[in-house]
Amino acid sequence: MRAKDAEALRATAASAVIVPLAIETAAMPVIRVRDPYLAAALIHNYLLETPFLATGVHAQAHVGDDTVVPEQISIAPLAVIGNRVRFGQRVTIEAGVVIGDDVQIGDDTRILANVTVRHNCLIGCRVCIHPGAVIGSDGYGYATDNRGYHVKRPQVGIVQIDDDVEIGANVCIDRATFGKTWVKSGTKIDNLVQVAHNVVIGENCLLVSQVGIAGSSTLGRNVVLGGQVGVAGHINLEDGVMASAQSGIVKNQARGLVIGGTPTMPMIKFARVVAALAKLPAMVTELRRLRQEVAGLQGEKKEIISKEQDRV
Amino acid sequence: MRAKDAEALRATAASAVIVPLAIETAAMPVIRVRDPYLAAALIHNYLLETPFLATGVHAQAHVGDDTVVPEQISIAPLAVIGNRVRFGQRVTIEAGVVIGDDVQIGDDTRILANVTVRHNCLIGCRVCIHPGAVIGSDGYGYATDNRGYHVKRPQVGIVQIDDDVEIGANVCIDRATFGKTWVKSGTKIDNLVQVAHNVVIGENCLLVSQVGIAGSSTLGRNVVLGGQVGVAGHINLEDGVMASAQSGIVKNQARGLVIGGTPTMPMIKFARVVAALAKLPAMVTELRRLRQEVAGLQGEKKEIISKEQDRV
Amino acid sequence: MRAKDAEALRATAASAVIVPLAIETAAMPVIRVRDPYLAAALIHNYLLETPFLATGVHAQAHVGDDTVVPEQISIAPLAVIGNRVRFGQRVTIEAGVVIGDDVQIGDDTRILANVTVRHNCLIGCRVCIHPGAVIGSDGYGYATDNRGYHVKRPQVGIVQIDDDVEIGANVCIDRATFGKTWVKSGTKIDNLVQVAHNVVIGENCLLVSQVGIAGSSTLGRNVVLGGQVGVAGHINLEDGVMASAQSGIVKNQARGLVIGGTPTMPMIKFARVVAALAKLPAMVTELRRLRQEVAGLQGEKKEIISKEQDRV
């Protein structure tokens, strides 16, 4: 342990601390773990766990026809539930939520304030959707006629959200043209992300805030996209691809590639390009100078040759 | 028809198919059209058409004073309509929608869940506004005093949305400082787009997801902006300008230009710059090598000249 | 005054005009001020001022337990207020707003339609939050285990918004993991901006639309970020830093720096790089040509030397 860390440890009022396996200290009780960050998250979650509190359907909520509401549910005031909605156990629906007709929602899922889930969408178990998110709005698809008018293509598919997905505030996930837009289990989506129609996002992906994924692209497992990354349509990102913030992905990316830039290149190359970019104005000057010097050499060379010839 | 396509055609269970004019096949009944994509959209829309179902004003909705509600209307539970709102025929207002005072809404327009339309805004006919969109929030305008405090400039204009416009989920269109922010007929706006105060967007434009247009810029007809494009303030994009995803437009663009990059350049040039960028690190090395070689040549040239002089 | 401006002045029907100190004209009554733009804003605000109109709590709103509602308040229909919420004087809550438990809201603050403020957050005086904004959603923090599953880190902090802050439509400000995400007084945030957990934004900053600030970054006073700017996590921007639109800030920035590009560099340098970028394809060609010419010179030099040697 570094002296500074030992100092910080002594200063804390904690009666025990979680430390990496390598740490040996007698200063206070320690819990040695392989990954303290992960252990702290698991322990914190455990301590915060509270049993589900079913408050039923509030009198100021609205529930549509043929929607069966289980006993173990909490529907807040001013939530609106459509017709034929099917709920799992221990679902929480906060105020201002609007659920369309024929939606299915799995066990222990929480749909927070002012979220909209449109008709026919499927939401898994232990999903959390943060305020203002919109699930199942129409995909953006038009056919343009020869006068330049855009004719809407009907968007008759759905959105399917699998188990343990978390969806950030004001995220938009569009329904498919046909079939489904699909977010697979364990994926975590940050605020203000756009997922277009017919996109498929694999298991355990991380999409940081303001990412945009265009239509019909597919992501494998554990893909990580930094903030404000854009993915073009009909692109395939294989398992484990990682893209740095603000990059623009316009081509398929092979398994595990780490990429950056617009359009993207391998991260190592991107770092070199960025370093070289700073030198670009100096390169313009240097190139001009070289041109003059080479021209000079060519002139003098001609002179030398002509002198040679004179002599000969 | 390519063999692969013919194969796919035989595999389908369709009793007839829509094909381009050039296709001749006897495998099954065909409808030959100039643009199958467009024809499919038109036919699909026709098949899905349903008569408007007027459900009236739900008991759990709220309608303000002096708002006359026509017979042919559907206002869902937990929608809130302000005072003196004027409705056309066959308007649909979904749950959670909030319409401000003095708004006008044209025939056959659909305003979906949790949309906000603020006071005085004008919405045309056959408009569709997707969930969570905000029409008529204040423009972002401040005057900064000499202590660095920002004094808000009142935003007393409106937003006008013309006929046949579609507005995506969680889009924001700010009201004008004075006058109006204006989206003209037939324009389609994707999710999470920002349209600032006093922007004018021409007919039949396409703004893909997460586009941002700063204050007072104007777009002509049939302008197409790719995902995450940014347009600076007070810029004019003439008819038919197309910008590729993530580009940053900081200057006026002439009619029909196809552009890319930040700041933008003509697309052909941008493609060349992108190709050259990948070579940039190698160029740094090459330039250094050339410098050495030219220095070498200059040294040797001096040597030669001095030898010449010796001889003379 | 330029002749054109004098002409425009004569054309107006105004009975008086606000002009800069330097202007001398007898054409009509003038108010001479140091900053006409600022003066116009102050005067316009003064003219628009209306006394607060307390409408109380609408019968179709919902107010939770132990929330004391002062006489001077307006809570619209279909707003939902949690338990133990504390209101200042003259607060406006529009329709569709959802306020969580234990929130505090200061005097003269306006929370517009469909905004969500989650539990425990603190909102100052004279704050305005535009429609669809989400204050206090969970920060985006996970610990990933060795199978690639993401374990959520509980987000138990709050958001604190100080006095005179304005927050745009559909903005997201996440609550802190521990402690608080903090927006200090006088800062103005445009639409669709993302502020991640534990970010601290100093006084009187301007964040233009679609800016994204990653976790734990801090901004000093009067920082200005152009549209679509991204700030990486754990970055410190000192007072007065200004970044041009779409730039990507990945390092600390010293007081008053004006920057641009991804990753950012000083603006003057960025302008030079941008100018040089346009020349990049030509540079590739030029470099190839120089290489050939230098090779030519080297060949001829060898020739000369060999001739020299022949002679010797």
CA-based nearest residue in chain C for residue A188: C150
**Which residues, including other chains, have CB under 8 Å from residue B212's CB and lie 6 or more apart?**
B193, B194, B196, B229, B230, B231, C192, C209, C210, C227, C228
pLDDT number for residue B308: 67
Does residue C307 register a pLDDT over 90? no
Contacts of C156 in chain A (CB under 8 A): 48
Region of B293 please: left (phi>0), alpha (psi -120 to 50) or beta.
Answer: alpha
Question: Does residue A312 have a pLDDT over 60?
Answer: no
Q: How far is CA C193 from the centre of its chain?
A: 7
Q: How far is the alpha carbon of C112 from chain B, nearest alpha carbon, in Å? A: 9
Residue B13's pLDDT is 81
Res A112 pLDDT > 90: yes
Contacts of A207 (CB under 8 A, 6+ apart): A187, A188, A189, A190, A193, A195, A201, A213, A225
Distance of residue C53 Cα from the nearest chain A Cα, in angstroms: 25
pLDDT interval class at C207 (50, 70, 90): very high
Alpha-carbon distance C141 to nearest alpha carbon in chain B (angstroms)? 23
Say yes or no to pLDDT of C59 above 90: yes
Contact partners for chain B, using 3 or more CB pairs closer than 8 A, are: A, C
pLDDT at A12 over 90: no
Strand order in the sheet with A73-75: A56-57, A73-75, A91-93, A110-111, A128-129, A166-167, A188-189, A206-207, A224-225, A242-243, A258-260, A265-266
| A98 closest CB neighbour out of B41, B95, B221 | B95
Q: Which residues in chain A are closer than 8 Å to B170, comparing Cβ atoms? A: 132, 134, 170, 172, 192
To the nearest whole angstrom, how far is the Cα of C147 from the nearest Cα of chain B?
A: 33
Which chain B residue has its CA at the smallest distance from A77's CA?
B78
Report the percent of chain C where pLDDT is more than 70. Answer: 96
Q: What is the pLDDT of residue C310?
A: 73
Q: Which amino acid is at A79?
A: A
Residues of B in contact with A116 (CB under 8 A): 96, 112-114, 131-132, 169
Sign of CA dihedral B150, C214, B209, B211: positive
| Inter-chain residue contact A286 with B287, CB threshold 8 Å | yes
Q: What is the pLDDT of residue B200?
A: 98
Backbone φ and ψ of B19, nearest 5°: -130, 160
Q: Residue A160: which of A195, A211, A121 has the closest Cα?
A: A121
How much is the average pLDDT of C111-135? Answer: 98
- Tell me the whole-structure pTM to 2 decimals: 0.95
At C30 the pLDDT is 87
| Residue pointed to by tokens 């390598």 | A22
ipTM: 0.94
Cross-chain Cβ contact C137/A131 below 8 Å: yes
Split at pLDDT 50, 70, 90, the class of C6 is confident
Chain A positions touching C212 (Cβ under 8 A) are 192, 209-210, 227-228
Q: What separation in angstroms does the CA of A75 have from each of A71, A164, B240, C215?
A: 11, 21, 49, 32
C209, B194: Cβ pair inside 8 Å? yes
- The DSSP secondary-structure symbol of C28 reads S
Q: List pLDDT tens digits, range B154-168.
A: 999 999 999 999 999
Q: Determine, for residues B169 and A96 on separate chains, whether the beta-carbon distance falls below 8 Å.
A: no
**How far apart, in Å, are the Cα atoms of C265 and each of B113, B261, C250, C259, C271?**
44, 18, 10, 5, 10
CB contact under 8 A, A144 and B38: yes
Q: Which residue out of C63, C93, C97, C98 would a mutagenesis test of the A interface target, given it has the greatest number of A Cβ atoms within 10 Å?
A: C98
State yes or no: pLDDT of C57 exceeds 90.
Answer: yes
Give the active site residues of B.
197
B277 vs C280: CB contact, 8 Å cut-off? yes
Question: Is A134–B44 a contact, with Cβ atoms under 8 angstroms apart?
Answer: no
CB contact under 8 Å between A283 and B281, yes or no, is: no
Nearest to C37 among B118, B143, B192 (CB): B143
Nearest-CA distance from B145 to chain A in Å?
33
A243 vs A265: CA distance, rounded Å: 10
d(C-alpha A305, C-alpha C18), whole Å: 76
CATH class of C115-263: mainly beta
Instruction: Say how far apart CA B181 and CA B140 lie, in whole Å.
Output: 13
Q: Look at residue C27 in the predicted model and tell me its pLDDT.
A: 74
Q: A278: which chain B residues are within 8 Å (Cβ-Cβ)?
A: none
How far away is chain B from the Cα of C44, in angstroms, using its nearest Cα?
7
Tell me what the mean pLDDT of segment C298-308 comes to. Answer: 73
Number of continuous H segments (helices) and E segments (strands) in chain B:
4, 34
Which of the residues A277, A288, A307 would you substitute to probe the C interface, choosing the one with the greatest number of C C-beta atoms within 10 Å? A277
Say if residue A175 is exposed, middle or buried (CB neighbours under 10 Å; 0-12, 13-18, 19+).
buried
**CA nearest neighbour of C78 among C93, C66, C67:** C93
* Residue C69: per-residue pLDDT: 96
Nearest CB neighbour to A174, from listed B191, B204, B284: B191
Nearest to B77 among A62, A263, A280 (CB): A62
Strands C122-123 and A218-219, sheet pairing: unpaired
Q: Say if CB C153 and CB C171 are below 8 A apart.
A: no
Reply yes or no on domain B115-269 having CATH 2.160.10.10.
Answer: yes
- Parallel, antiparallel, or unpaired: how do β-strands A122-123 and A104-105 relate? parallel
Binary contact (C148, A290; C-beta < 8 A): no
Residue pair A143/A151 in contact by the 8 Å Cβ criterion: yes
Tally C-beta pairs within 8 A across A and B: 186
Chains that touch A (3 or more CB pairs under 8 A): B, C
Q: Which residues from A are below 8 Å from B59, CB to CB?
A: none
- Residues A32-75: pLDDT tens digits? 999 999 999 999 999 999 999 999 999 999 999 999 999 999 99
Under an 8 A CB cutoff, do C298 and B297 touch? yes
Q: Above 60 in pLDDT, residue C270? A: yes
Amino acid at A229: V
Selecting among A58, A62, A130, A197, the annotated active-site residue is: A197
Categorize the per-residue pLDDT at A1 as very low, low, confident or very high, splitting at 50, 70 and 90.
low
- Give how far C260 is from chain A: nearest CA, Å: 12
Cβ <8 Å between A41 and C154: yes
Least confident residue range of A250-254, C154-158, C169-173, C282-286: C282-286
Average pLDDT, whole number, for chain A?
Answer: 94
* pLDDT tens sequence across B79-117: 999 999 999 999 999 999 999 999 999 999 999 999 999
Instruction: Report whether pLDDT(C206) > 90.
Output: yes
Per-residue confidence band for A22, with pLDDT thresholds at 50, 70 and 90: confident
Domain boundaries, chain C: 3-48, 115-263, 278-312
* Side chain identity, residue B225: L
Q: At what angle do helices A280-311 and C267-311 cross, to 10 degrees?
A: 20
Low-confidence ranges of chain B (pLDDT < 70): 1-3, 25-26, 301, 304-305, 308, 311-312
Q: Looking at beta carbons, which residues of chain C come within 8 Å of B129?
A: none
Nearest to C290 among A131, A274, A294 (CB): A294
Q: Among B168, B228, B304, whose Cβ lies nearest the Cβ of A304?
A: B304
| pLDDT grade for A162, boundaries at 50, 70 and 90 | very high
Contact A96 C80 (CB under 8 A): yes
Smallest CA–CA distance, residue C145 to chain B, in Å, is: 33
Tokens at A72, concatenated: 């173990």
Average pLDDT, chain C: 94
Query: Considering only alpha carbons, which residue of chain A is nearest residue B96?
Result: A96
Average pLDDT, integer, range C192-203: 98
Residue B196: predicted pLDDT: 98
- Distance CA(B306)–CA(C3), nearest Å, equals 69
User: Closest-CA residue in chain B for C208?
Assistant: B140
